[in-house]
Homo-oligomer: A and B are copies of this chain.
Amino acid sequence: MMIDPGSDGPITNCATCPAGRASGVGRGGRCPFVARLRPAGSYVYFQGEPADVVWFVKKGTVVLSRSPGDVAGEDSAHAVRRVGSFIGIEALVSPTYLDSARVTEDATLCGTSRENASLWLGPPETPARITLEQVLRASYAEAPRAAGADGSAVQRVARWVLEEARDGRAPSLPRHIVANLLGMVPETFSRALAQLSRRGAIDLTRKLIRVKDPDTLRDLARG
């Protein structure tokens, strides 16, 4: 399907590739990324696999999808990556891939191991690197938001409680904001919380949510 023709300008040459240029290709530098062809329909990696390779898209289109919890069917795409994007870059901050990547248009991808990517990025503790890592962590922490896209209100709320309670966070956020974050109106949020409470998964007062029965909660989160 197309929306007006319009071309996507594949990158064919390391000298015109941002990664290549940053590596100093042509000025004696060497780029650690090596190109591979991937046909439309193939998967580059799956959610949950060890994140061993970082990729860069030189040509084609890749769709990222994430399924709440475990390994994915092919549900819930959440982003499209085209020429000039890194994919699997979460390898820098996560031991496993956080989503699955599927080629939807024949692609040329340049890949390199996590170690080489890390070397390539230069010393840790430099401003650019800590910033990069923080930004990556922040993007991928938005997992709940991605999960928010699908599932019933009760499931999303259950997932959110699980997620937030896991690291003992104390959001102190007004309910209507949380509701918003989860993509629902405050009334719906309230009802969902009430249901979680009715089923015995949480203890609920107006000011505090406490996990009472994590297993039940997990069940409710699953559906």
**Which A residues have a C-beta under 8 Å from some C-beta of B?**
1-8, 18-19, 21-23, 61, 63, 65, 75-82, 84-86, 89, 104-105, 120-122, 125-132, 134-136, 138-139, 142, 145, 148-150, 161, 164-165, 167-175, 177-178, 180-181, 183, 207-211
- Copies of the chain in the assembly: 2
Residue of B89, B136, B207 near A1 (CB, 8 A) is B207
Of A80, A142, A168, most buried by chain B (CB within 10 Å of CB) is A80
The secondary structure that dominates the A interface is mixed
Q: Distance (Å) between the CB of A98 and the closest chain B CB? A: 13
Contact A7 to B170, CB < 8 A, known contacts A122-B126, A134-B85, A134-B86:
yes
Q: Distance (Å) between the CB of A86 and the closest chain B CB? A: 6
Contact A165 to B1, CB < 8 A, known contacts A18-B130, A125-B21:
no
Residue of B6, B77, B104, B126 near A128 (CB, 8 A) is B126
Contact A148 to B145, CB < 8 A, known contacts A1-B173, A128-B122:
no
